[in-house]
């Protein structure tokens, strides 16, 4: 009975975590370049059950009665890096990737006393007062030779990421394409970092100017998932209540029958 209470209680916690993931996806449905997360469930390792003081029984000297699993938990949060819909903005500073799910723009982010490289799919860039191409948060967009500095917003970006102004090459976007996206981690501000040594490959997609990439979140599916979570949570609540009431009767009523 106690095992059932623990199992139902853990089920409530798991559904709460899953609801957090779904809620975050829905909150970012209009965030450019956002990649949806999915909760992946893992079962706890099975544990060996023994009867206390039962190792003297000849038929079962070990006292072992078998294995059991208490419940499941969220083992990891899987991020889906598939491309979202491209949205036409006709803004020359807006850039997006086409036909490449695992490519990212490189930006320079201040972190403590130094600047570090991070990556993003959000290509809704702008020009600062110095003509430097930056993100909405003010992080510098990097080219292969450093920051990309322009004289105005009348410039062109080729499908390979070359930045041209008056037919003059102003820079080459520093595009990172990773073979294994499981090594990527979200770092806030719609940015991505790399965990460990991630193998890179050459960019084989296209850069599209005047477009931004929308989130790859399907709001209808997320709402259906939210309803499913609510129903599972309520079911665990009811089961937990029944087990608690049964345990209460066992503790309070059975001794009085003696």
Q: Per-residue DSSP letters for 192-223?
A: EEE-S---B----SEEEETEEEPP---HHHHH
Q: Are residues 243 and 170 in the same domain?
A: no
- pLDDT at residue 9 is higher than 90: no
Q: Are residues 233 and 246 in the same domain?
A: yes
CA 87 – CA 190 distance, rounded (Å): 18
Q: Are residues 170 and 152 in the same domain?
A: yes
Number of domains composing the chain: 2
Which residue is associated with the tokens 């998932």? 225
- pLDDT for residue 64: 67
Q: Are residues 10 and 110 in the same domain?
A: no
**Final residue in a domain of this structure, among 196, 213, 230:** 213
- pLDDT at residue 145 is higher than 90: yes
Q: Are residues 75 and 90 in the same domain?
A: no
CA 191 – CA 195 distance, rounded (Å): 13
Tell me which residue range forms the domain holding 224: 2-80+218-257
Q: Are residues 173 and 119 in the same domain?
A: yes
Output the pTM of the full model.
0.84
- pLDDT at residue 219 is higher than 70: yes
Burial class (CB in 10 A: 0-12, 13-18, 19+), 103: buried
**126-127/156-157 β-pairing:** unpaired
Q: Are residues 15 and 72 in the same domain?
A: yes
Q: Are residues 146 and 122 in the same domain?
A: yes
Q: Are residues 201 and 90 in the same domain?
A: yes
> Tens digit of pLDDT for each residue in 220-250?
999 999 999 999 999 999 988 888 888 887 7
Q: Are residues 171 and 96 in the same domain?
A: yes
Q: Are residues 239 and 204 in the same domain?
A: no
Q: Are residues 106 and 158 in the same domain?
A: yes
């Amino acid at each position: 009975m106690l095992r059932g209470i623990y199992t139902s209680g853990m089920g409530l916690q798991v559904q709460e975590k899953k609801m957090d993931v779904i809620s975050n996806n829905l909150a970012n449905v209009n965030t450019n370049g956002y990649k949806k997360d999915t909760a992946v469930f893992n079962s706890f390792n099975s544990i060996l059950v023994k009867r206390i003081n039962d190792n003297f029984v000849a038929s079962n000297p070990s006292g072992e009665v078998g294995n059991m699993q208490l419940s499941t938990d969220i083992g990891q949060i899987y991020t889906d890096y598939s491309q979202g819909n491209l949205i036409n903005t006709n803004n020359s500073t807006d850039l997006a990737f086409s036909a490449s799910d695992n490519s990212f723009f490189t930006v320079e982010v201040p972190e403590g006393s130094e600047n570090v490289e991070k990556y993003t799919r959000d290509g809704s860039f702008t020009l600062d007062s110095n003509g430097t191409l930056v993100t909405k948060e003010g992080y510098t967009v990097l080219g292969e030779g450093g920051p990309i500095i322009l004289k105005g917003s009348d410039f062109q970006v080729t499908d390979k990421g070359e930045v041209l102004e008056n037919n003059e090459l102003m820079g080459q976007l520093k595009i990172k394409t990773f073979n294994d996206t499981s090594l990527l981690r979200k770092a806030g501000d719609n940015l991505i970092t790399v965990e460990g040594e991630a193998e890179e490959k050459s960019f084989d997609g296209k850069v599209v100017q005047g477009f931004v990439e929308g989130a790859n979140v399907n709001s209808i599916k997320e709402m259906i998932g939210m309803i499913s979570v609510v129903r599972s949570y309520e079911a665990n609540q009811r089961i937990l209540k029944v087990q608690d009431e049964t345990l209460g009767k066992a503790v309070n009523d059975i001794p009085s029958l003696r």
